[in-house]
Every structure is written in C-alpha cells, then in structure tokens.
Amino acid sequence: MDNRPIGVFDSGLGGLTAVKELLEIMPQEHIVYFGDTGRVPYGSRSQETILKYAAQDIHFLTENRVKMIVVACGTVSSLARNLKKPQGVPFIDVLHPTALAASAATRNKRVGVIGTSATIRSGSYRRALAEIDSEIQVYDRECPLFVPLVENGFVADDDEVTRLVAERYLGELRDAGVDTLIMGCTHYPIISRIIGATMGKEVTLIDSGRETAFCCSKVLEERGLLCDRPAKGDCSFYVSDRVDDFSRIAGIFLGRDIGQEVHQIDINRY
C-alpha cells in the first residue's frame, strides 16, 4: 500500500474530468492536480514547445512526491513516446486506455476521433487503433475551438454558440457513419451532451478521462500502490495563472467549492 498522492496534469481545466472519475473510483486517494492555465491551450503549439511544457509539468509533480503520474491531456498523450519519463513512477496517458475502449465499443468498425490540432496531426489515435484492430476505419477531426469554449464557461447543454461550433465540426463525422466517437481531449466530456446531441443517440461517446481513471485504478492495484486509508482523500490544485477563474469553473465541474485548495505557482521554475 502507498499513501502518497496521484499526480495529474493538463493544459488547463480539462483534466478535471479525469480527477472527477478518479475520485469516484478511488475516493480514498490523495490527488495533486496541475493545470497550466497560463499557457493553455497546448494543442496549437509546436511539438517542441509542448514537450518542454510537459517536462516542466512532470517535474513539478515529481517534486510533490507523487506515486503515479496521469497525463490528463490528449495533446501531450499524443506525444508521450517522446517524453522523458521519471524513473520509478508509473506513467499513464489518456491515449491507449481510450483507444482500447473505442475498439471494444464499435460495432461497424467506423471510429471517429476529435481532438486538438496537435493531437489529430500526430496521428496517434490512428496508430493506436490500427495496432489494436487493423480493420477499424478512423475518421478524425480537429476541434480547436472546443477548449477555449470550455475554459470560458460556454458549457451549458443549451449553449447556442457551442452547439453551432459542434455542428460545424462534427457534421462530417456523423455523415461518415461512425458508431463510436473518441473525445480525444479531456476538455470535451464537459460538453458531452452537446456532442452527443449533435452526433445522435446511436453513436457511443468514449470519455478519455473515465477510461484513464479506470486504467489508473487497475495499475495501482496490480502494483500494490493503492491507498489503505479508510478516510476520504485530499485534493490539492495548482495553476500557473489566476486562481479565481480556475476555482470558479472547476467548482462547477467537481460539484463543490475548491477555492481554498487552489494555489498559483511559477511553472517556469521547474
């Protein structure tokens, strides 16, 4: 057993979808979350810049003595093979658990993938799905506006702006006849009702945050690293920009006030 925290990082708020799932599956675990709100979004950056930012994020978490690192960022996950991973710390990204879930869910072997520009350009989901099942046809689409819409609170189920953007992005995938859609950015489940309504009820949505949380739980159990405290775990949240903005929206996503638990750091020190 290991009572050290789980470390989770993302470019901003999206990784909170993974945190929410982790708390539901393993409520006794401690979690340290870093959202790089001062440099969001990662998806429009160059590969070199993304890898630099990710290395700093990982360094910050290792300084907090985490027992596992969860990359709750689709963009960084798509480049995970190029990351320098810390020794002795299990490392999970959202890519492979999500691809496995999609391959199991599809009935007609037509899978859609939506993500940031960097994620889609990397071809990471195409490769991962091809390795699992070469018969799966992949239809992908860059959806760069979804992240800033989520980060700025345009998340209501009836939000007209987000609905129109979703229709613009997702129409081609719907017309291609995909029966499974990977939400390849952890921001996207926050607007999953809008995405689902646009795609139609016959399309299965794959939540990368949820699948990653399940994978995290399995790995911790297999390695004997689960927390053995009977009490509810603690969460600490860190950001690289304004605390107030993050606290307000994050509180909505997690269903509770987190104002006193959020701290701003200078990520460039790491």
Q: For 128-155, write each residue's pLDDT tens digit.
A: 999 999 999 999 999 999 988 988 889 8
Could you identify the residue written with the tokens 């470390």? 7
Identify the CATH class of 95-208: alpha beta
73 a catalytic residue = yes
227 a catalytic residue = no
Return the exposure string of 28-63: e unless at least 16 CB atoms fall within 10 Å of the residue's CB, then b: ebbbbbbbbbbbbbbbbbeeeebbebbebbbebbbe
Given the residues 143, 185, 215, 216, the one annotated as active site: 185
Peptide bond connecting 86 to the previous residue in cis, omega within 30 degrees of 0:
no
Which residue type occupies 241? D
Q: How many residues does the chain have?
A: 270
Given the residues 73, 143, 227, 235, the one annotated as active site: 73
Q: What is the pLDDT of residue 222?
A: 95
Q: Given this chain, do its domains 6-94+210-269 and 95-208 carry the same CATH topology?
A: yes
- Beta-bridge mates of residue 114: 141, 183
Nearest to 94 by CA among 215, 187, 7: 215
What are φ and ψ of residue 34, in 5° steps? Answer: -120, 125
Task: Reduce the DSSP state of residue 44 to 3 states and report it.
Answer: coil
Note the pLDDT tens digit of each residue in 155-189. 899 999 999 999 999 999 999 999 999 999 888 99
Alpha carbon distance 13, 246 (integer Å) = 7
Q: How many CB atoms lie within 10 A of CB 223?
A: 12
Domain 6-94+210-269 indexed as CATH 3.40.50.1860 = yes
Domain ranges of the chain: 6-94+210-269, 95-208
Q: What is the pTM of this model?
A: 0.86
